A and B are shown apart, each in its own frame.
Chain A
Amino acid sequence: MADPMRIRAQAAGDKATVRVLMAHEMESGQRKDAAGKTIPAWYINEVSAALNGKVVLTAEWGPSVSKNPFLQFVIKGAKAGDKVQVSWTDNKGDKRSDEATVS
């Protein structure tokens, strides 16, 4: 099981800014280990975010995204108290989903 994400969601006016930190190796598949063997690719390839269960963002990621990625986006119409869920799936099929409350 992957480590939890850190999600912060801050409402301002009729919008909320969401900041997400994901714990992931994001191995590109281009690197070699000390023995010269290729380290297999291992990266997040699907990200989605939902506001109170309704999907507001989906993204397809690839091996060029950094280790421990940071994602920031704005949701229109989100108010304090709303729930933001963020989930990802990686190329090994591992999944992680976390939730935060808009403040």
Chain B
Amino acid sequence: MKHWSWVAALALLPGLACAQKTAADSIAEYRALLADGNPAELFEAKGEDLWKAKRGPKNASLERCDLGQGAGVVKGAFVRLPRWFADTQRVQDLESRLLTCMSTLQGLDAEAIAKTPFGKGEQANMEALVAWISAESRGQRMQLPQAHAAEQRMYELGKRAFFFRGGPMDFSCASCHGEDGKRIRLQDLPNLTKNPGDGVGFAAWPAYRVSSGELWGMQRRLNDCYRQQRFPYPGYASEVTIALAVYMGVNAKGAESIAPAIKR
């Protein structure tokens, strides 16, 4: 008889497994709990003050900075970046555009800021600025322009970088983010070759990371992806990082931006 009760118990197991919460459910619950008190708000408040503060050798604010929607227009700018800028003759993402504004308007040294480690000095200010600027477009849908030839070129370049395999582990971005249902440890990974959904992937960064208490912009996010692949670090605001942002951003067309989001 003992033998039979074992069989019955085994037959029940798959049913039990289905009734249990998945790891993804638990992580979603955890995020929802934290979202109410997202410390990204602290960075947003700092960023708004920084935007209006007169700083740098030219003692000027960033209020005349053109993020693509006209001088000083912040609302809606984030969901339309990266884009082509005629004055610099480049496709720029939010952070490289801010570097341009900080150097032309405020007289700060863009090259020195690009070389500053994340979270230090002007890079800490950059984090606050991207938190506030992205928050001003919260709830809007990703709509990166693709009309200019340079923007189309950057999309193709980003696609090649995304699928480029290399490094000691023969990794590419696509190794983890190229199909549905992949995960790293217990974290579900978005498929970035298409629109992964509202507030997922490209539409969730910048974000506050609870584990380190830091706010990460897209540049830092990409920098860490390269570290995880054991690739050399890409330069801050370099062409390849902007190309990848164009690729992910255009793919995410129509996804609702929840940035700055909260992450584990």
* A interface residues with partner B (beta carbon < 8 Å): 3-4, 6, 19, 21, 23, 26, 66-68, 70, 72
Contact = CB atoms under 8 A, between A and B. Distances in A.
Contacts of A72: 36-37
Contacts of A70: 36-37, 39
Interface of B: 36-37, 39, 41-42, 45-46, 210, 213
B39 A21 contact: yes
A6 B210 contact: no
A6 B41 contact: yes
Given A70-B37, A72-B37, A23 B42 contact: yes
B213 A21 contact: no
Contacts of B41: 6, 21
A68 B45 contact: no
A68 B39 CA distance: 6
B210 A21 contact: no
10 contacts: A3-B42, A6-B45, A19-B36, A21-B41, A21-B42, A23-B39, A26-B213, A67-B213, A68-B39, A70-B39
A83 B4 CA distance: 69
B219 to A, nearest CB: 21
